Structure 1
Amino acid sequence: MPETGPTVVLPGRPLTIGELLDSAVLLLRGQTAVLLPLAAVLAAGEQLLLLPLRTVVGATGPLWWPAGLSELGLFWFLLALGAATEAMIILLLGNPAGRAAASGLVGRRPTTREVMGASGGRWGATGLLCLVVGAVMLLASLLGPAWLIGFALLGAVAPTLVVDRVAPVRAINRSVTLALRLGGRAAALRLLGYLVWWLIRVGLGWGLFTGLTALDLITESWATAVAMLVWAAVNMVAYAALACLDAVVHLETRIRSEGLDIRLSRAPGASGTSELLAVGG
């Protein structure tokens, strides 16, 4: 097992909430060159996808409130679609984040090829599950508070797929099972992480746009484009950070509930391969 220290992503023991948040940040810092470019593309694509609906309901940046109540139904669908795309992006980023976290747990610093490569990446299954999770989150978001339940329970889908190596048909069920263990600790941590990053996103996004506007650096014709760019930049970091949090919470939950740390300490060659983390099936 890797030695415990301030620079260790996952020290191989149960962690406090603060330590988990620190571990997620360390994981993101170590995989910045991989996660942020991918997150940037996905976050920009999300802004372009939502733009037509925002135009229809008259929503303007930086907070994208509608112009009136006449299109309230469409605006509700816009919010639900945004929640679904967020979940899908975090899941896609959870693939490389999960692989990087698994390597860190067994004491290895993964290469970019190991984290993003097709070999062992199960990208096809990740894409299919991304669509399933997107559909589930869209429906849950349309139902209002059900979004909280869906988001809380589906955080481990990508790590379960690429770290635990379970069959795709079992990934969602295992994610829900792990989220509910230990009194729903993993589910609560995912909601906490989302809340923290939501506050950061709103503060940075609104503050940056307002600051640029106050300095007369944004013309009216460029306001929408700048608002989209600002939100894409803020979301890029937030989505990558949330994917890293999902990865470390998943592995830490397995340490607490499945004795993963004991298994690794007793397995020959545990310090060199992440295949020992697989549960299969």
Structure 2
Amino acid sequence: MPETGPIVVLPGRPLTVGELLDSAVLLLRTRASVLLTLSAALAVGEQLLLLPLRTAAGATAPLWWAPGMSGLGFFWFLLAVGAATEAMIILLLGNPAARAAGGALLGHRVTAGELLRPGGARWGATALLGAMVGAVMLLVSLLGPGWLVGFALLGAVAPALVVDRVTPVRAIARSATLALRVDGRAAAVRVLGYLVWWIVRVGLGWGMFTGLTTLGMIPDGWSTAVAMLLWAAVNTVAYAALACLDAVVHLETRIRTEGLDIHLSRAPATGTPAQLLAVGG
């Protein structure tokens, strides 16, 4: 087990909410090259996917993508699609983030090559679960407040799959189960993290776009492209940070409720990280 200290991602003990948020940021910093690169590609893809839907909804204001009054119904669908794509991206990023967090808990710095290596990473199952979670989030988002429940319960799907090594079907059930433990602590932390990063995204996006507009630095006809680029940029950091938060919250919940720290202290040093962290391993 790694020693505790201000530079340790996961010190192997129950953490406060503030420490969890700090641990997520520290985890992102240690693996920024991989996580931010993957997140940027996914964030750009999301903007390109949503562009025709925004056009169909009449959402022409580049910063807020607000529709005309005649397009509110389709705009609601657009918001639901956006919620689904966010959840899918965070889940996909949760695969390398969780493996990096698992290594950090064991005192092992997972290299970029190890994170990108397909062997044992369960990328196929991750993609399958991403599609399933996206479909669920689309449906619950159409119900309005249902989005909150879905987002809160599905944060540990990727960590359960790649760290706990459970089956894809069990990963969904385990994510919900862990989220509701300790009076729903993990679920609340995930929603809190999303709200914090939502405020950061809106603040940065609005500030940068307004500043560029005020300075006359956006050529005519380029407002939409610039807005898409800005949102992709802020989402890149936010999505990666939220994936890291899911990873550290998952492992901390296992420490808090399953005695993972005790299990690791008694486990033989010859065990591989996958064996040591797997449920029942």
- Partner amino acid for 2:65? W
How far the C-alpha of 1:212 sits from its partner, in A, is: 0.2
Q: Which residue does 1:62 correspond to in 2? A: 63
The alignment's TM-score, normalised by the length of structure 2, stands at: 0.98
Aligned-partner Cα distance in 1 for 2:190–2:246: 7
Equivalent residues of 1:2, 1:11 under 8 A apart: yes
Equivalent residues of 1:264, 1:270 under 8 A apart: no
How far the C-alpha of 1:111 sits from its partner, in A, is: 1.0
- Partner amino acid for 1:250? H
Q: Does 1:46 align with 2:46?
A: yes
How far the C-alpha of 1:200 sits from its partner, in A, is: 0.2
Aligned-partner Cα distance in 2 for 1:123–1:271: 23
Query: 1:70-149 alignment to 2 at 5 Å?
Result: 70-149=70-149
Query: 1:194-205 alignment to 2 at 5 Å?
Result: 194-205=194-205
How far the C-alpha of 1:58 sits from its partner, in A, is: 2.0
Q: Which residue does 1:257 correspond to in 2? A: 257
- Partner amino acid for 2:56? V
Equivalent residues of 1:34, 1:112 under 8 A apart: yes
- Partner amino acid for 1:43? A
- Partner amino acid for 1:193? G
Over the matched positions of the two proteins, sequence identity in percent amounts to 74
Query: 1:13-32 alignment to 2 at 5 Å?
Result: 13-32=13-32
Q: Which residue does 1:169 correspond to in 2? A: 169
Aligned-partner Cα distance in 2 for 1:274–1:22: 25
Distance 1:165 1:272, change over 3 A: closer
Q: Which residue does 1:266 correspond to in 2? A: 266
Equivalent residues of 1:270, 1:276 under 8 A apart: no
- Partner amino acid for 2:64? L
How far the C-alpha of 1:136 sits from its partner, in A, is: 0.1
Aligned-partner Cα distance in 1 for 2:151–2:90: 11
How far the C-alpha of 1:219 sits from its partner, in A, is: 2.1
- Partner amino acid for 1:64? W
Equivalent residues of 1:4, 1:11 under 8 A apart: yes
Distance 1:52 1:19, change over 3 A: same
Equivalent residues of 1:97, 1:243 under 8 A apart: yes
- Cα deviation, 1:37-74, whole Å, max 9, x if unaligned, reads 100000000000000011122212111111x1111111
Q: Secondary structure at the match of 1:28?
A: helix
How far the C-alpha of 1:124 sits from its partner, in A, is: 0.3
The alignment's TM-score, normalised by the length of structure 1, stands at: 0.98
Equivalent residues of 1:85, 1:134 under 8 A apart: yes
Q: Which residue does 2:211 correspond to in 1? A: 211
Give 4+ residue runs of structure 1 displaced > 6 Å after superposition.
none
Query: Which moved further from structure 2: 130-139 or 269-278?
Result: 269-278
Q: Which residue does 2:220 correspond to in 1? A: 220
Equivalent residues of 1:54, 1:78 under 8 A apart: yes
How far the C-alpha of 1:274 sits from its partner, in A, is: 4.2
Q: Which runs of 5+ in 2 are unaligned?
A: none
Q: Secondary structure at the match of 2:192?
A: helix
How far the C-alpha of 1:270 sits from its partner, in A, is: 7.3
Aligned-partner Cα distance in 1 for 2:271–2:225: 48
- Partner amino acid for 1:63? W
Query: Which moved further from structure 2: 221-230 or 69-78?
Result: 69-78
- Partner amino acid for 1:189? V
Q: Does 1:234 align with 2:234?
A: yes
Aligned-partner Cα distance in 1 for 2:246–2:97: 8
Aligned-partner Cα distance in 1 for 2:122–2:258: 24
Equivalent residue pairs, number? 280
